[in-house]
Amino acid sequence: MEKNKMRLVQGNEACVMGALYAGMRFYAGYPITPSSEIAEESSIQLPKVGGKFIQMEDEIASMAAAIGASLAGKKAMTATSGPGFSLKQENIGFACMAEVPVVIVNVMRMGPSTGLPTSPAQGDIMQARWGTHGDHPIIVITPTSVKEMYEFTIRAFNLAEKYRTPVILLADEVIAHMREGVEIRTDIEVIDRAKPTPGEPYLPYQLKEGDIVPPLASFGDGYRFHVTGLSHGENGFPTNSVEINNALIRRLNSKITDHLDDIVEVEEGYTSDAEFLILSIGSTARAAKSVVNTLREQGIKIGYFIPKTVWPFPEKELKECFKTVKKVIVPEMNMGQIALEVERVAAGQAEVHRLNKVTGELFTVAEINDGVMAVINK
């Protein structure tokens, strides 16, 4: 009877399955729709594997708790939506500065403010990059399916551990709430943070030759070290030294920008000869794919470009497309955020056309098709 290994799983549920596979043992959150099932499912599953689930008093505290748990050696996650994501920003900045691995899931709903709860939107793309202040590094990945909710959550933990950084899984309501057939892979590599070598002197922010980031000791393992949001030297204590600050900020950023080939992921279709390109993320990308497949059958030279890592933005990969692409259409469930990056990368090499929807509903296939045809026929 077993025709395949597919199971019907909800996006948010798949996220928790991925987190547990990756080794999540701590979740702190303040439930908010459309992410609430992540908290709910974590509260059911974590106690079964010896993990801890805490519902905190608010989003600020839950972000802090996740950071604390990570510094104590546990893989930690929190999940939220727009209003809660705003509140978490201060502590996300702390985690960037203190280089604490942690996964933040933001299931986007319609904003600003409390907006339309449980209605899909993609308005947090710039906030995910620049929501917290200062020149901080960040990795933001964007799933388009339930399968990717599972696999990208694992990837989020892996990237967080490898680069000692917060990683944001930026989903939208459609992907989080839909149920889809998915084969739950159990052959995905799990990366754990580098730990100090026992017996050797340890400085929490001393980068050794050949390493990507300094190893991270766990509080409770016997190492005495200091963690602060202030600019700090290799020993972790605050400093006002201009040289040390300069080196720190440059190292924090280059640990990401030096490894773009590892971090940046893109799904492309028909781009090798495309004159027209649809660039989109999340659930919008699924509508876009459908449109491209149909238009290709009609002989129109169109392709799709789906950033699966939206930050750092896949600049090199997109530039490659401009060898043939003359017009890009950027459908987004916002007033135009990714389009800004596309315009920057295109730098006049191709026309960039925006297609924006802010009704709190997913694009229909017809809406994208009509928008694209208007651009093609212009």
- Residues in contact with other proteins by CB under 8 A are 1, 3-4, 6-8, 33-34, 116-119, 173-174, 177-181, 283, 286-287, 289-290, 293, 362, 364-366
Minimum separation from the CB atom of position 2 to other proteins (A)? 9
Minimum separation from the CB atom of position 280 to other proteins (A)? 12
CB 329 within 8 A of CB 300: no
238 closest CA partner among 211, 200, 205, 202: 205
Tell me the C-alpha distance between 302 and 291, whole Å. Answer: 9
For residue 96, what are its two tokens? 């960037």
Minimum separation from the CB atom of position 167 to other proteins (A)? 25
The residue to which tokens 């546990």 are assigned:
74
Task: Please identify, using beta-carbon distances, which residue of 39 and 95 lies nearer to other proteins.
Answer: 39
Minimum separation from the CB atom of position 82 to other proteins (A)? 15
Task: Please identify, using beta-carbon distances, which residue of 11 and 214 lies nearer to other proteins.
Answer: 11
Burial of 260 (0-12, 13-18, 19+ CB in 10 A): middle
Minimum separation from the CB atom of position 275 to other proteins (A)? 21
Task: Please identify, using beta-carbon distances, which residue of 13 and 317 lies nearer to other proteins.
Answer: 13
Minimum separation from the CB atom of position 305 to other proteins (A)? 15
Amino acid occupying residue 225: F
Amino acid occupying residue 77: M
Task: Please identify, using beta-carbon distances, which residue of 246 and 293 lies nearer to other proteins.
Answer: 293
CB 293 within 8 A of CB 317: no
**Continuous H helices in the chain:** 11-22, 36-45, 59-71, 82-98, 125-130, 146-163, 173-177, 242-257, 260-263, 282-297, 315-321, 338-346, 365-377
Burial of 133 (0-12, 13-18, 19+ CB in 10 A): exposed
Minimum separation from the CB atom of position 1 to other proteins (A)? 8
- Parallel/antiparallel/unpaired status of strands 302-307 and 179-182: unpaired
Task: Please identify, using beta-carbon distances, which residue of 10 and 153 lies nearer to other proteins.
Answer: 10
Tell me the C-alpha distance between 276 and 372, whole Å. Answer: 9
CB 31 within 8 A of CB 80: no
Minimum separation from the CB atom of position 232 to other proteins (A)? 45
Tell me the C-alpha distance between 266 and 269, whole Å. Answer: 10
Task: Please identify, using beta-carbon distances, which residue of 114 and 235 lies nearer to other proteins.
Answer: 114
172 closest CA partner among 124, 130, 112: 124
Minimum separation from the CB atom of position 286 to other proteins (A)? 5
Task: Please identify, using beta-carbon distances, which residue of 158 and 283 lies nearer to other proteins.
Answer: 283
Task: Please identify, using beta-carbon distances, which residue of 116 and 212 lies nearer to other proteins.
Answer: 116
Tell me the C-alpha distance between 7 and 179, whole Å. Answer: 9
Task: Please identify, using beta-carbon distances, which residue of 106 and 119 lies nearer to other proteins.
Answer: 119
